[in-house]
Structure 1
Amino acid sequence: MRPSNRRAAAFVLASVALAGIAAPVVAQRAAGPEHKPTKKVAEKVTLFGSTCRTAIEGSRVVAYCHNPYPESDLVQLHTECDRWWDIDADGSPVEVGPAQTVRLTDRCWKEVRAAWVSHHRM
Structure 2
Amino acid sequence: MRLPRSLAPVTVALTLVLSLPYDALPHTRVSDGKQPPPSRFGASCRTSVRGSHVETYCHNPYVDIDRVRLHIECARWWDIDTDGAPVDVGPAMTVRLTGRCWKEIRSVWISHQKAR
Name 1:81's counterpart in structure 2.
74
- Superposed CA deviations along residues 91-118 of structure 1, whole A, max 9, x for unmatched, are 0000000000000000000111111101
Whether 1:94 and 2:87 are equivalent positions in the alignment is yes
Larger Rg, first or second structure (1 or 2): 1
Q: How many residues align?
A: 85
Moved over 6 A (4+): none
- Structure-1 separation of matches of 2:85 and 2:63: 22
**Counterpart residue type for residue 103 of structure 2:** K
Segments of 5+ residues of structure 1 without an aligned counterpart are 1-33
Distance 1:50 1:97 in 2: 9
**1:6-36 deviation per Cα after TM superposition (whole angstroms, max 9, x unaligned):** xxxxxxxxxxxxxxxxxxxxxxxxxxxx651
Match of 1:55 among 48, 54, 71: 48
Q: Show the counterpart of 2:33.
A: 36
Q: Alignment partner of 1:98: what SS?
A: coil
TM-score normalised by L of structure 2: 0.69
Instruction: Indicate whether 1:116 and 2:113 are aligned.
Output: no
The aligned residue for residue 27 of structure 1 is none
Query: What residue ranges of structure 2 are gaps of 5+ in the alignment?
Result: 1-30
Question: Which deviates the most, 97-106 or 46-55?
Answer: 46-55
The answer to whether residue 67 in structure 2 is matched with residue 70 in structure 1 is no
Displacement of 1:37:
1.5
TM-score normalised by length of structure 1: 0.66
For 2:108, what is the secondary structure of its paired residue? strand
- Looking at structure 1, the residues matched to 58 and 32 of structure 2 have their Cα atoms a distance apart, in angstroms, of 38
Question: 2-side partners of 1:46 and 1:35: how far apart?
Answer: 19
Cα distance, 1:76 vs structure 2? 0.1
